[in-house]
Amino acid sequence: MNKSMDYMVSVRLMAYNHGEYIAQAIQSILDQVVNFKVELVIGDDFSSDNTLEVAKSFESTDNVSIKVLDRQVGDSYWTKRQKLGRLYNFSNTIENCSGKYVALLDGDDYWIDPYKLQTQVDFMEANPEYSFSMGRVNMLIEETGAIKKRNEDVNPSVSEKYTLTDYLKKPFSQTSSFFFKNSTEPFPDWFYKVHAGDQSCVVIKTADGGLIKYHDKTFSVYRVNEKSISHQASFNVYEKFIDTLDYWKSHLNKSYSQILTINQKKYKQKSLFQLCKTKLCKVYYLLRVKLLEMRIRNLELLIPICLLYTK
């Protein structure tokens, strides 16, 4: 798979039943002010609504070339999708991206900074030691229409330079701002078994030590929608995260094991918290979670009380 230099950026727009929202997502891409060519690759995962119809109604512009992936029931994509699951849309759409860089956007989210791509390209071109770029993201609460800021443990107003270790402590930003170097490396087999494909993408793309740039700019809006896949999980999300971190351990070198193990303990406490029937029980597990979060933030320190509560 050869990556073309004709496009500086490929935008991977992943969609499933986003007919109500995808026009806003596509228009926010077409509204980008750039001095390079952009490829928009749309991967619809057999939506049952009018998502595909809306996507095909848009035409390419001078700067943005639109490519809607042709997928049919029974074809090679469909066959592999049945085997690997929903995250195959994530990886397959990226595999069809030919740009030097890839920007991620889902069909129900949208960009609000018309200079997002230009900002990220300019930085990455000038700083080759960075593998990933992201920015601030607001949340749109679908039920009320309210737009809120995301609360995060890191603050790009203080520092915009981060490492994978920083990200593993508590993942920050969100898919709609993600931007990274494209490559010919296929996604590992374990990727299709994880809960968080976007976070796993950060791990995969920065595993070689590349830095993460967190721009102190609000790039996009993430829609919190109860109809979305992420809000319709039929499994225990925290238990799934524990399994996901096992896959990350297998992919990364041993220097990351400690922080991943502590996070697994944290997710286990959150899982048990969900089973609580009394207030006292909830307080107990909430305190255990807080102690583990303290330990993650202070890995270089010995905190006996944390060790006592997490054995």
Residue 62 domain flag: yes
Both 60 and 204 in one domain: the answer is yes
Banded pLDDT at 91 (limits 50, 70, 90): very high
Is 4 a member of any domain? no
Question: Is residue 212 assigned to a domain?
Answer: yes
In a domain, 19, yes or no: yes
**Domain membership flag for residue 3:** no
107 vs 114: CA distance, rounded Å: 17
* Domain boundary pick from 231, 254, 276: 231
pLDDT of residue 151: 84
User: What's the mean per-residue pLDDT of the chain?
Assistant: 91
Q: Which domain holds residue 292?
A: 237-310
Tell me the average pLDDT across 108-124. 98
Question: Do 121 and 179 share a structural domain?
Answer: yes
Mean pLDDT computed over 51-63: 97
Beta strands 101-106; 179-181: pairing state? antiparallel
Q: Same domain, yes or no, for 121 and 226?
A: yes
% of the chain with per-residue pLDDT over 90: 86
Residue 309: pLDDT above 60? no
Residue 143 has pLDDT above 60, yes or no: yes
User: In this structure, what CATH number is given to the domain that contains residue 202?
Assistant: 3.90.550.10
Contact 282, 276 (CB under 8 A): yes
Q: Is 110 inside any structural domain?
A: yes
2 within domain boundaries:
no
Q: Residue 68: beta bridge partners?
A: 42
Task: Provide the number of structural domains found in the chain.
Answer: 2
Assess if residue 17 is contained within a domain: yes
Contact between 197 and 191 under an 8 Å Cβ cutoff? The reply is yes
pLDDT of residue 228: 53
Say if residue 221 is in the same domain as residue 295. no
- Do 76 and 124 lie in one domain? The reply is yes
**How many other C-beta atoms can be found within 10 angstroms of the C-beta atom of residue 261?**
14
Q: Write down the pTM of the prediction.
A: 0.90
Boundary-marking domain end, from 177, 208, 231? 231
The mean per-residue pLDDT over the stretch 14-28 comes to 98
Task: Let me know whether 205 and 74 are in one domain.
Answer: yes
Cα–Cα distance measured from residue 42 to residue 28, given in angstroms and rounded to the nearest whole number: 14
Q: Are 38 and 179 within one domain? A: yes
Tens digits of residue pLDDT in 100-110: 999 999 999 99
* Beta bridge partner(s), residue 179: 103, 133
Most confident of 124-128, 236-240, 273-277, 283-287: 124-128
Query: Are 214 and 72 contained in the same domain?
Result: yes
The angle, 0 to 180 degrees and rounded to 10, between the axes of the packed helices 237-251 and 197-206 is 10
Which tokens is 294 given? 């303290």
Say if residue 273 is in the same domain as residue 152.
no
* Mean pLDDT value across residues 31-57: 98
Residue 22 amino acid letter: I
Q: What is the pLDDT of residue 236?
A: 84
Average pLDDT over residues 224-239: 67
Please check whether residues 54 and 102 belong to one and the same domain.
yes
The reply to whether 149 and 277 lie within a common domain is no
224 and 245: one domain?
no
Signed CA dihedral, 251, 252, 254, 258: sign only: negative
pLDDT tens-digit readout, 147-197: 999 888 889 999 999 999 999 999 999 999 999 999 999 999 999 999 999
Say what the pLDDT of residue 17 is: 97
| Boundary of a domain, candidates 197, 216, 231 | 231
